[in-house]
Amino acid sequence: METKESHNKANSTDQNKGIVYIIGAGPGDPELLTMKADRLLREADVILYDDLVSPELVSHYPALKIYTGKRKDCHHFEQEAINEEIVRQAKMGRKVVRLKGGDPFVFGRGGEEIESLRQHGIRYEIVPGITAAHGASAYSEIPLTMRKVSSSVAFCTGHPVSKIQVPDADTLVYYMVASSVHDVLDAVLNKGRNLETRVAIVQNATRYNQRIFTGTIRELREREKSVYSPALLLVGDNISQFIGENWFSKKKKVLLIGNGGKNYDPSDYVTVHLPCSSADGSDRKMVQHCLENITHYQVIFFAGVLSVRHFFNCLFMSGRDVRHLRESRIITYGKAAASELVKYIVVPDFRLEPDKPDDLISLFRENGLSGATVLLPGSNLPDSSQLFALEASGNSVTPLCVYTQGFRENDEEIDLDFIDEIYFSSPSCVRNFRTVYTGIPERIKVTTADEHTGNECTKIFGGRLLQG
């Protein structure tokens, strides 16, 4: 029997097990994460992550994720609330990772967070990360120090304006300058540097959309007042080392949409991955209606793995099972759908493996599958070429939304201005992409996983040149 005392004991052991890792995630390029950070993220029960950490990076780890940033539509945590949440999670005996952009101890409020852990007697460790200044320096090829040019470097903040300092160092790196570049430049001039001093702004350092401006203080003061965040301002003669085309800018930037796909050699390409995930979110009313009248459908046509998986989920949730499908003939389209179906102990009556979507019509005809009532479980974005082929064979088709396709909510919108190539891994990725982007700029090369995806792309984005 559990006594109050033993209960308390259990709680305090749980609490003793709780540990917090304050980890730096680096400036953006996911490969700049340390091996230690990667291990701890894999082992974590919960990850609390900030604005500057990409949702794509954290999505690779199984832990519960809590976003503590300020991105639109999300609850905004104040620092106090973040501290409390970290403590609460640790007291439940969990392995907590507090993941921060760059390094936690460089303008990262890591100091404040450990303060609260110390107060509560919670165990913690700190894992350093690559700070934005180091990322920007390496990826823009501007050394922070250099023999005979610069022998000291200082990291400073441009925010708040009242705290701007100009230390006596050869190279100055200013963080948080999005709205205060001009104030920083004024302060630097006031400290005695002249208008011809070289400066650089490195925005989105180490990411696919890294942008660099270099010039003199005079030139930068003539430009617009604000820069986009996140950006760093560098000041010093070392900036003369900058070259327009460097090892990072030379690489082609590829947007990979969906899962799997071509292997792009990292020595030539920077890849940005936009997963096109499925989520629950069926058309409940319609699902209920179709399942109640399931014997009405002479054919159930499964066009993909997710259609199978989500359809059976809906079927089981409604208290039914495969016995309810005995009146219908079951057709799969492609190998993957057929193998998925076997997991539900169902062998398809027909397995269609067309090379081209056009084959579908003839396959239907050849197999005497014309004129049937067909249920087509799929996503909220049905494949119109399949629908057309099924209808063209004289069938009466009912598309049924059993899952929702979409990009993840927290994913940032990709700026196509920086993209050289887009790779679509499936037709549904093309349709998904179309829900967010109205078109694809002519200069971007488009590649697709197969002909079917290529056709979808041509259909949706017009007759632009596709490269397979």
Count of Cβ atoms closer than 10 Å to residue 392 Cβ:
14
Q: How far is the CB of 242 from ligand SAH (least distance, A)?
A: 15
Distance (Å) of CA 123 to CA 63, 94, 211, 222: 19, 11, 40, 51
- CB nearer to ligand SAH: give 132 or 363: 132
Q: How far is the CB of 454 from ligand SAH (least distance, A)?
A: 35
Reduce the DSSP state of residue 241 to 3 states and report it: helix
Q: Rounded CA gap, 385 and 378, in Å?
A: 13
- CB nearer to ligand SAH: give 194 or 229: 229
Sheet architecture: strand order including 231-235 = 153-157, 171-175, 231-235, 198-203, 211-216
Count of Cβ atoms closer than 10 Å to residue 168 Cβ:
9
Q: Rounded CA gap, 181 and 171, in Å?
A: 16
Q: How far is the CB of 88 from ligand SAH (least distance, A)?
A: 24
Q: Rounded CA gap, 212 and 242, in Å?
A: 10
Residues that bind ligand SAH (CB under 6 A): 27-28, 52, 100-103, 106-108, 131-132, 135-136, 175-177, 202-207, 229-232
Q: How far is the CB of 353 from ligand SAH (least distance, A)?
A: 46
Residue number with the shortest CB distance to ligand SAH?
Answer: 102
First to last CA, the chain: 67
What are the residue numbers of the active site? 50, 70
Q: How far is the CB of 144 from ligand SAH (least distance, A)?
A: 14
Distance (Å) of CA 180 to CA 40, 73, 137, 174, 233: 36, 26, 21, 10, 10
Rounded (10°) angle between helices 384-392 and 359-366: 40
- CB nearer to ligand SAH: give 24 or 382: 24
- CB nearer to ligand SAH: give 46 or 176: 176
| Contact (Cβ atoms closer than 8 angstroms) between residue 355 and residue 344 | no
Reduce the DSSP state of residue 340 to 3 states and report it: helix
- CB nearer to ligand SAH: give 202 or 360: 202
| Contact (Cβ atoms closer than 8 angstroms) between residue 152 and residue 169 | yes
- CB nearer to ligand SAH: give 28 or 258: 28
Q: How far is the CB of 25 from ligand SAH (least distance, A)?
A: 9
